[in-house]
Structure 1
Amino acid sequence: MTDINALNALGGTSGASGAGQGMMDMGSEDFLRLLTTQLKNQDPLNPTDSTEFMGQIAQLTSASGIQELNASFASLTEGLRGNQTMQAASLIGREVTVESNTGYLPEDGALSGTVNLPSGVDNLTVTVTDGAGQVVRQMEMGSHAGGAVDFSWDGVNAEGERMPSGSYTISANAGNDGEGQSFQVTTAAEVESVNLGAAGENPTLNLRGLGEVSLAAVRQVR
C-alpha cells in the first residue's frame, strides 16, 4: 500500500514539519495524487486511520495556505516598491529637507533649512561653517517657542562678501554666544535624480550637494 507519510522523506526530516516542507516543495497537485493513490490501494480489512487521514489533509491545507500567503506578501511588497519608485521619481526637480548638518549653497541662491526645537528657547543662533572649519556667518534668531524654526542664509559672510557655492556645515545652539544647548537641523536640497536600485532594494534620492539619501530620510517636500 502506498503510504502518504513517505512524503516526510521529501523534506529531509521526519514528522509533521518535514511532511509540510515536502508538500510545499512538491506542490498540492502531487500531494493530492499520492493521497488518491493511497485511498485506492488501501487494504479494505485495514483501512487508513481517519485521524491520520485528517492530519494529512490538514498538512495539505497548511502548506497550500503558506504558499498562498507567501505569494500574497511577495505581490504586496512588489506593489509597495513600485509605489515608492513612482513617489521618488515625482520628486525630481523638487526641493526636500532631510536631517543633516550639511547644507548646499547654490551659485545664485540661498542655503535654507529648519531648526527643530523640543521646547522654547532664548537667543537661538544658527552658525555656518566652511570646509576649513572657519565660521563664515552667525545668524541671531532670537527667542522662539518649541517647534520648527525656518532659517535661510543668503550666502554672504560676516564681511558682506558672497561665499562660493558648495557644502557648508550648519549648527544651531541656544545660550550665550551660541555655546549652549544644541539642536537638530534639517537642510533643504534639490532632488537631482533617483536611484532605482537592484531587485528587492528601495529607491534612493540623489540630492544636490548632499549626495544619496533614502526616501525615508525626507522630512518635508517644498
Structure 2
Amino acid sequence: MSTIDTTTTSSSVLDQYKASTDSGTGTSDNELGQDAFLELMVAQLNNQNPLDPMDNQAFVAQLAQFSTVEGIDNLNTTVETISSEFSSFSALQASSMVGQSVIVDGNTSGVLRDGGTLSGYTELEESATDLSLAVYDSSGQLLEQYDIGTHASGALSVEWDGLNLSVDGDELNSSALNRDEYLTDDNGELILDDDGNPQLVPYEAGEYQFVLTGTIDGTTEQVDMNMSTRVESVTLASSGTVTLNLTGGQTASMSDISQVLED
C-alpha cells in the first residue's frame, strides 16, 4: 500500500517560492505583492499535510490579511490619483488669478495703477471711534489723511483711486485734501465737475501705504490693515506646490489670499 508523503514543510515551500522569485520580475527582497501573496498561499494549500490540514481560522486569517494588503494597495492608488487631480485643480485655479488684484495677509503696501484703485482690508475686533486713514507714498511721506469716524466691530474695507476714498463701498465725503493740482484741457483751461468746481489731479500711479488708527476701548491704537496687490504670474513646483508671484517681487501661497477683488 502506498504511503502519503508528509515530509513537505512550510520551510520547504518557502524555499521553493524563494527560488522562483529570485529569477522573477523585479519584486524587491523586502516586498510581497498581491500576486506573489496568492501564489504563496496556494502553494501552502497544495503542500499541506492532508492528515493535518490548515486550521480554518488560520486560513480565514490569511484571506483577511490578503484582503487588507489589496485594500491598502488600492487605497494608495486612489490617494495618488486624488493628489494628482488636486494639484492640477490648484494650478488651474491659481492660473486664473493672473492679472487679478488680491488682498494678501500681512501685505502692508500696495501699487496704485493708472485708472485703478488701491484696496485695504481689516477686521476690527471691537467697535472703534475717531478712525483715521493716512496715505503714505513709497518714501514714507504723508500725503493725505481721511477721517472715517466710527465703525462697528467686524470687516472694514477701503478703496482709494488716488483722491477719493470709499469705506465699505460708500464714498467718503472729504474736502480737506492736500492736493492742489487741477485738471486742465488742451487749452490750459480748468476742467470743472458737474457742480462747477475744478477737478483735482489724482496722485500718480505708484506704491502707497495705508495706516489706520482709531480709539478702541478708550485707547488710541494703530490697526493692522492688509492691502491689495496684483498677481503677475504663477509658479508650479514639481511637488505640486503653487506660488503666486506678486507685484514688487513678493510671493504668496494660495492660503495667504483673503480676498480676490473685482477689477
TM-score, with structure 1 as normaliser? 0.77
- Alpha-carbon distance in structure 2 between the residues aligned to 1:140 and 1:190: 27
Residue 62 of structure 1 aligns to a residue whose secondary structure is helix
Deviation, structure 1 residue 182: 3.2
Say whether 1:218 aligns with 2:257: yes
Deviation, structure 1 residue 120: 2.1
Question: CA 1:103/1:59 → structure 2, altered by over 3 Å: closer, same or farther?
Answer: same
CA contact (8 A) 1:3 1:38 kept: no
Match of 1:187 in 2: 227
Deviation, structure 1 residue 6: 5.9
- Alpha-carbon distance in structure 2 between the residues aligned to 1:124 and 1:4: 86
Deviation, structure 1 residue 121: 1.3
Q: Given residue 99 of structure 2, which amino acid in structure 1 is its aligned partner?
A: G
Considering fraction of residues, name the structure with more helix: 1
Deviation, structure 1 residue 122: 0.9
CA contact (8 A) 1:4 1:38 kept: no
Deviation, structure 1 residue 166: 4.2
Question: CA 1:109/1:185 → structure 2, altered by over 3 Å: closer, same or farther?
Answer: same
Counting only pairs closer than 5 Å after superposition, residues 41-56 of structure 1 correspond to structure 2 as: 41-56=47-62
CA contact (8 A) 1:122 1:175 kept: yes
- Alpha-carbon distance in structure 2 between the residues aligned to 1:123 and 1:2: 86
Say whether 1:101 aligns with 2:141: no
Question: CA 1:186/1:170 → structure 2, altered by over 3 Å: closer, same or farther?
Answer: same
- Alpha-carbon distance in structure 2 between the residues aligned to 1:6 and 1:125: 81
Identity %: 31
Question: Larger Cα Rg: Structure 1 or Structure 2?
Answer: 2
**RMSD of aligned C-alpha atoms?**
3.2
Per mean C-alpha deviation after superposition, the further-off stretch among 92-101 and 127-136 is 127-136
TM-score, with structure 2 as normaliser? 0.66
Residue 31 of structure 1 aligns to a residue whose secondary structure is helix
Q: Given residue 66 of structure 1, which amino acid in structure 2 is its aligned partner?
A: I
- Alpha-carbon distance in structure 2 between the residues aligned to 1:192 and 1:185: 22
Per mean C-alpha deviation after superposition, the further-off stretch among 202-211 and 28-37 is 202-211
Say whether 1:203 aligns with 2:209: no
Residue 25 of structure 1 aligns to a residue whose secondary structure is coil
- Alpha-carbon distance in structure 1 between the residues aligned to 2:99 and 2:135: 25
Among candidates 77, 81, 85, match of residue 75 of structure 1: 81
Residue 87 of structure 2 aligns to a residue whose secondary structure is helix
Residue 43 of structure 1 aligns to a residue whose secondary structure is coil
Question: CA 1:206/1:35 → structure 2, altered by over 3 Å: closer, same or farther?
Answer: same
Residue 180 of structure 1 aligns to a residue whose secondary structure is strand
Q: Given residue 225 of structure 2, which amino acid in structure 1 is its aligned partner?
A: V
CA contact (8 A) 2:231 2:246 kept: yes
CA contact (8 A) 2:120 2:210 kept: no
Structure 2 unaligned blocks of 5 or more: 1-8, 19-27, 164-176, 182-201
Say whether 1:140 aligns with 2:147: yes
Structure 1 unaligned blocks of 5 or more: 11-21
Residue 37 of structure 1 aligns to a residue whose secondary structure is helix
Question: CA 1:61/1:48 → structure 2, altered by over 3 Å: closer, same or farther?
Answer: same
Match of 2:212 in 1: 172
